[in-house]
Amino acid sequence: MTTRDQIGLAVLGVLGIIGVFVLSNANKIAAAVADVADAAGKYWPLPANGEPYRDIIQAAASDNSVPFDLIARDLWQESRFKPDAYNPSGAEGIAQEIPRFYPGVDVLDPAQAIPAQAGSLADYYDEFGSWAQALAAYDWGPGNVRAAVAADSVNWLTAATEKYPNGAPVEARKYVGQILTDVPLEPLPPGAMT
C-alpha cells in the first residue's frame, strides 16, 4: 500500500467518524439550528418593510454580539426601515447616523449603515454594561450618558446634568422606553417613557 493510499484511508476514516457523530447527534444539531433561527424575532417580529434587510441585520447581530431584535427595533425607531430617511439634525439613512461620526461609512447604504449601527451599540454596551444606556448613547450621545450616569448611577435617565438640567430629553427617554418595551432585554430604567 502506498503512502497515498494510506492517506486516503485515513481521510475516509475521519469522514466516517464525523458522519457517525452527525447522525448520532442529528436531533441535537437540528435543535441548535432551530434555536438560532428562533432567536431572530423572539421579542419583536420584523415588519414586512424590514424583511429586505433581514440578512444584513442577522450578520451585524452575529458579528457584533448584539441581539437581532434590538438592532431591528432600533432601525424601526430610527427610520421605519427607510434607507433615505433624513433628520434636520443631520442624521441620515436607515440607522439615522450623522456622517461625520461614521467616516468611511456610506450611511445611505443599508449594507454599511446597519453594521455600523450594530458596532456602535456593541461599543456602547461594552462601555456602559446596559442595553438601556447603549440605546441612550446611540440616540442622545455617549457624553451625555456618561455625565448622567456620573450624576446618578441609578436614576441616570432623569439625572440632572449641566447641559440638560431636567435629565435626558423626553425624546431620549421615549427612545429607550419604547425600544426596551418591545425588546425586553432588561428592566426599564427609572424615567423611561413608553
CA distances from 112 to 10, 37, 44, 127 (A): 45, 23, 23, 23
How confident is the model over 12-59, as pLDDT tens digits? 666 667 666 666 665 555 444 444 444 567 899 999 999 999 999 999
Look at the block and give the residue holding cell 435617565. Answer: 157
Of 23 and 165, more confident = 165
CA gap 138, 127 in Å, rounded: 12
Of 164 and 73, more confident = 73
Q: What is the pLDDT of residue 30?
A: 47
Look at the block and give the residue holding cell 421579542. Answer: 43
pTM, two decimals, is 0.79
**pLDDT over 90 for what percent of the chain?**
73
How confident is the model over 87-116, as pLDDT tens digits? 999 999 999 999 999 999 999 999 999 999
How many CB atoms lie under 10 A from the CB of residue 48?
8
Of 155 and 9, more confident = 155
Architecture of domain 43-182: Orthogonal Bundle (1.10)
